[in-house]
Structure 1
Amino acid sequence: MSRTGETTGETSKASASSQTNAADQRRRTNIIYIVYLIAALDITWMFLQFSVTPYLAKKLGFDTLWFGYLQTTVGVIQLLGGPMFGRFADLFGARVALSLACASTVVFFLLLAIADHPAMLFIHKLPTVFMHVLPASQMVVADLSEPEKRADALSKLGLCFGVGMIAGSTLGGHLNTRYGETFTACVGAVGSAFSLLLVLKFIPKTTKVQAPKTNTDSETKGKSVFSVGEITRLMKFPGVARTFVVKVVAGLPSGIFQVMFSIIALEFFKLQPEQNGYLMAYFGIVQMVIQGAVIGRLTARYSENSLLLLSIGVSSLVGLGQAYMQNVFQFCLTVVPMMFSLSVFNVITDSMLTKSVPSSDTGTMLGLCASVQSLLRTVGPTAGGFLYVNYGISSIGLIQFVVNIAVFVHLLQRRLKKTTEQKE
């Protein structure tokens, strides 16, 4: 009887444990879905802003050079703010970090709405130091998703990006045409305030799997958000520095093309605003399909190292195609492999880097990843402008081809060498 009772007790405990795990998994999944909604809304408001700033800048007397300075200012501010924001999220939790990002977005739009002087356009960019909703969303998803499913979960944020790109561009264009820049900026402020409410209502204080209360308070008091040493120490973990260098070097040429695309569309392709809007919608649709239906299946079948090699190889071929394209139709043919390589490359490198550091540092790591995009926005306009003016659009594509082929060969040699050593 006692053995039977013990067996029954163990069975009931196991059943209760499995029910608890299932409930915890459902809770995590629901939070991730809310994060996807917050990310999609944030991208919508950002693309809505893209339909305001250029026209407002033109009204205030900005020429192409000064508008470039404005964009570079944003890149520098976010380059400095990205790693600090990531560390802030690790120390103070997901809800506080996302709340700060959304509140900064509200201030950003309110300053844009009252901008009536060229200096105000620069001032309204200052809150971008904390405007890292997408990296913060990546942090929450990375914390709550299982390691083997992390790449797929992160890729769904790219799907949100596509939805936001289409919705924001369309909504911003209509609102700006009918009601003007001020009203459109106010809509962005209201929308960002709604996102803030979603964060306060549904996002838990912390999403870290391991958060022992005995150490957290004392560790937080002894650590600084502005500690450069605490941020850069992540590079000492095995494989982190190498993957991060690959992310910067292989991503820079394609990043230059992305930064220069508005100029290329205007001067090289001679596109009208309406045609450019259709092209952006095409980008969004392609990205949605790749992020939502392709990357998850690839990560389930192939290793991350194999997918990293694939994305870099495809990117080199895309660069070669862009070097010799002559019209919009030819460019559209390169869009699908271009978006595929960009999406896979960004998702895989982010996933590899977050897996290489402790769970307590995933926010700081993703902040460093976000700073790579800010670096591209900082150096991209200058480097891309120099190449385009002096050597034409083909130079940008050829550099992408050469750099990515070199990185591809290097990684392939390392992989073959490692395989040979394992066999021996």
Structure 2
Amino acid sequence: MSGRGETTEGTSRASVSSPANATDQPKKMKIINIVYLIAALDITWMFLQFSVTPYLAKKLGFDTLWFGYLQTTVGVIQLIGGPMFGRFGDIFGARAALSLACSATVVFFLLLAIAENPAMLFIHKLPTVFMHVLPASQMVVADLTEPDKRADALSKLGLCFGVGMIVGSTLGGHLNTQYGERFTACFGAVGSAFSLLLVLKFIPKTTKSQAPKTNTDTAGDNQSKSVFNLREITRLMKFPGVTRTFIVKIVAGFPSGIFQVMFSIIALEFFKLEPQENGYLLAYFGIASMVIQGGVIGRMTARYSENSLLLLSIAVSSLVGLAQAYMQNVFQFCLTVVPMMFSLSMFGVITDSMLTKSVPSSDTGTMMGLCASVQSLLRTFGPTAGGFLYVNYGISSIGLTQFVVNIGVFVHLLQRHLRRTDEHKE
């Protein structure tokens, strides 16, 4: 994982950008704090939506199978849109990217508000191809922070996720109960419009450095400045360490991701939770995430190397999988939540930080889009894999799969780390 040369990291450090080419540190921090607010609001609106879609789908006659198809549709759409959106952000700048994402969210909620048949419920998912506020926020944070502080800054976006999860779930449940699905969807549209206003008011046109270009550079740049240029997107995989880190991100993250996408079914069928009890459990998730990402990850990234923290997160994830394979009730599951949230948060932050350091600042948006596509890949194939394991082998099979896969990845990375250490000693 540490195969990146010092040259690449030095280039990344040298190219850490500032709006308008000359922005002092306080102004950078103001922009980053506004981005944190925008990200927290976006997560709030998304969890508010989670209190609408399942109930509306049930009213429209969706069974579990068709609701799964609906979720898979979102995964496929965002899998296609993630890398393209990231490249859009690199080419047109932070303000354009965040404006597009927030505008798409407004349309998403308006279509949800008028959905009166199953076809409309599928149609309202189409704007999700552009709904990538979190990757765009990660791009801005990566552009405006020094490499040695990037993991800490990215972890604060996880804190925003926890805040949005708690507020959105609580607010959505209350609005849906009191006023119905349509009003809740309209509220989400208004909230997303407010997020759009924040973007237009406070986010600069670009957060990347604008290096002067020769005529030759410009000519070549015009040929490659296409959002749909797959060669430019896949080019990032050729940078040292990128492909290896990406494979680890997918392989080690997929088993734990299966549990996440299957959690609603597990809570309903295995734990027999009522909606209110499920809400309390989600709030517990949010609180654990806030504490870990706001108070733990930053301190650990300042003290320990990214390679060591990556190994730690994978080791903890394997133990969490083993514990979940043998849990029998919701209390036992609650005991695994804190280490589970720690491993998930640390793994995501460290891999994202390593990947953005491996590429030039001009490509951080595309890289964040590729990172987001990993989650979309999970939402696309996770329900099928998780459903197969759960139906045929029970909940323990999901935990055991996570344990075996993560132990394998951990042993491989540890051997590689020890081998590189021996080479440096020689």
Q: Name 1:340's counterpart in structure 2.
A: 342
Match of residue 191 from structure 2: 191
Q: What secondary structure sits across from 1:287 in the alignment?
A: helix
The runs of 5 or more residues in structure 1 that have no matched partner are 1-20
Confirm whether residue 101 of structure 1 aligns to residue 101 of structure 2: yes
Report which stretch shifted further, 374-383 or 206-215: 206-215
Q: Note closer, same or farther for the CA distance 1:358–1:406 as it changes in structure 2 (3 Å cut).
A: same
Evaluate the alpha carbon distance shift between residue 179 and residue 216 of structure 1 in structure 2; reply closer, same or farther with a 3 A threshold.
farther
**Cα separation, partners in 2 of 1:405 and 1:210, compared to 1, 3 Å:** farther
Paired amino acid for 2:267: A
Q: Aligned AA for 1:132?
A: H
User: What does the per-residue CA deviation read over 1:353-398, in whole Å, with 9 as the maximum and x for residues that have no partner?
Assistant: 0000011101101100000000000000000000000000000000
> What's 2:129 paired with?
129
Q: Which of 282, 285, 291 matches 2:284?
A: 282
Aligned to 1:271: 273
Residue identity opposite 1:167 in structure 2 = V
How far is 1:224 from its partner? 1.2
The Cα shift of 1:129 comes to: 0.2
CA contact (8 A) 1:91 1:220 kept: no
SS of 1:325's equivalent?
coil
Matching residue within 398, 401, 404 for 2:403: 401
> Corresponding residue for 1:34?
34
Q: Name the counterpart of 2:111.
A: 111
Q: Which amino acid aligns with 2:306?
A: E
Which amino acid is 1:207 matched to? T
Distance 2:147 2:424 in 1: 25
Alignment of 1:160-199 (within 5 A): 160-199=160-199
Distance 1:171 1:212 in 2: 48
Find out whether 1:303 has 2:296 as its counterpart.
no
Amino acid at match of 2:263: F
Determine the structure 2 residue equivalent to 1:414: 416
Give the letter aligned to residue 272 of structure 2: K
Distance, in Å, in 2 between the alignment partners of 1:212 and 1:157 is 32
Could you tell me whether the CA contact under 8 Å between 2:224 and 2:232 is conserved in 1? Answer: no
Q: CA contact under 8 A between 1:256 and 1:376: conserved in structure 2? A: yes
Instruction: For 1:221 and 1:88, locate their aligned partners in 2 and report how far apart those are by CA, in whole Å.
Output: 15
**CA distance in 2 between partners of 1:337 and 1:272 (Å):** 25
Alpha-carbon distance between aligned partners in 1 of 2:227 and 2:307, rounded to the nearest angstrom: 32
Structure 1 CA distance for aligned equivalents of residues 406 and 218 of structure 2? 42
Q: Distance in 1 between matches of 2:133 and 2:407?
A: 33
Structure 2 counterpart of 1:163, which letter?
A: V
What's the TM-score, normalizing by structure 1? Answer: 0.94
SS in 1 for 2:343: helix
Match of 1:389 in 2: 391
Counterparts of 1:58-97 in structure 2 under 5 Å?
58-97=58-97
When residues 330 and 358 of structure 1 are mapped into structure 2, their CA distance, relative to the original with a 3 A threshold, is same
Change (3 A) 1:117 1:211: farther
**In structure 1, distance between residues paired with 2:304 and 2:222:** 39
User: Tell me, what secondary structure is at the counterpart of 1:365?
Assistant: helix
**Alpha-carbon separation, structure 1, partners of 2:98 and 2:389:** 38
Is the contact made by 2:47 and 2:165 (CA closer than 8 Å) also made in structure 1?
A: yes
Q: What secondary structure is seen at the aligned counterpart in 2 of 1:417?
A: helix
Aligned-pair RMSD on alpha carbons? Answer: 1.5
CA displacement 1:248-288 (0-9 Å, x = unmatched): 00000000000000000000000000000000000000000
Q: Distance in 2 between matches of 1:403 and 1:177?
A: 42
Q: Distance in 2 between matches of 1:254 and 1:368?
A: 19
The 1-side partners of 2:60 and 2:240 are apart by: 50
Q: Where do 1:50-65 residues align within 5 Å?
A: 50-65=50-65
Letter in 1 for 2:400: L
Partner of 2:13: none
1:236-275 paired onto structure 2 within 5 Å? 236-275=238-277
Q: Aligned-pair distance for 1:23?
A: 6.2
Q: Which structure ranks higher in relative contact order (CA pairs < 8 Å, sequence separation ≥ 6)?
A: 2
Q: Is the 8 A contact 2:323 2:336 kept in 1?
A: yes
In 2, the alpha carbon distance for the partners of 1:262 and 1:34 equals 32
Matched with 1:357 is 359
Identity rate of aligned residues, in percent? Answer: 86
Distance 2:126 2:134 in 1: 18
Equivalents in 2 of 1:222, 1:385: separation in Å? Answer: 42
Aligned partner of 1:326 among 328, 331, 340: 328
Are the aligned partners of 2:103 and 2:192 in contact in 1 as well (CA < 8 Å)?
A: yes
* Cα deviations by residue, 1:112-145 (Å, 9 ceiling, x for unpaired): 0000010000000000000000010000000001
Deviations 1:22-81 (A, max 9, x none): 961111000000000000000000000000000000000000000000000000000000
Cα distance in 2, alignment partners of residues 255 and 235 from structure 1: 23
Q: CA deviation at 1:209?
A: 2.9
- Which amino acid letter does the alignment assign opposite residue 230 of structure 2? V
- Indicate yes or no: 2:209 matched with 1:209: yes
Residue 3 of structure 1 aligns with which residue?
none
What amino acid is the match of 1:131?
M
After TM superposition, give the deviation of residue 410 of structure 1 in Å: 0.2
Secondary structure of the residue that 2:296 maps to in structure 1? helix
Does 2:356 align with 1:370? no
- Contact preservation (8 Å) 1:210, 1:360: no
- Number of matched residues? 405
Q: Distance in 2 between matches of 1:149 and 1:197?
A: 29
Pairwise CA distance, 1:218: 6.8
Distance in 1 (alpha carbons) for counterparts of 2:424 and 2:222:
42
* Contact 2:102–2:133, Cα closer than 8 Å, also in 1: yes
1:223 to 1:23, Cα distance in 2 relative to 1, 3 A: closer
TM-score (ref. length: structure 2): 0.93
Q: Is the 8 A contact 1:144 1:209 kept in 2?
A: no
What letter corresponds to residue 111 of structure 1 in structure 2? Answer: L
User: Equivalent residue for 1:141?
Assistant: 141
CA deviation profile, 1:71-109 (whole Å, cap 9, x unmatched): 000000000000000001001100000000000000000
